[in-house]
Amino acid sequence: MVRAVWGDVEVDADLVIRRRAGGVEVLRTAADVGDPHVLLDTVCRDLETKTVEEFIREWRVLD
């Protein structure tokens, strides 16, 4: 888990993706690739532009 600075507060940051239907967690990864905001922006863009199959293949989501 990464320590990230959010404003003036340090927090532990994981990226968590859940299914809309039922809220089942399908992906959890440490947001340790630099700026957590950049990771979140990348994932949001991928969720908007990729098919489910493409997203799963790229992010290695196991169902």
What mean pLDDT is predicted for residues 28-49?
Answer: 82
What mean pLDDT is predicted for residues 50-60?
Answer: 86
Residue 46's pLDDT band, with cuts at 50, 70 and 90, is: very high
**pTM of the entire structure?**
0.61
- In this predicted structure, which of 10-14, 20-24, 58-62 has the lowest mean pLDDT? 10-14
Q: Which residue has the higher pLDDT, 6 or 11?
A: 11
pLDDT at 17 over 60: yes
Distance CA 37, CA 6 (A): 10
The C-alpha angle 47, 51, 52, rounded to 5 degrees, equals 80
For the chain, the first-to-last Cα distance in angstroms comes to 22
CA pseudo-torsion sign 42, 54, 56, 53: positive
Distance CA 60, CA 9 (A): 31
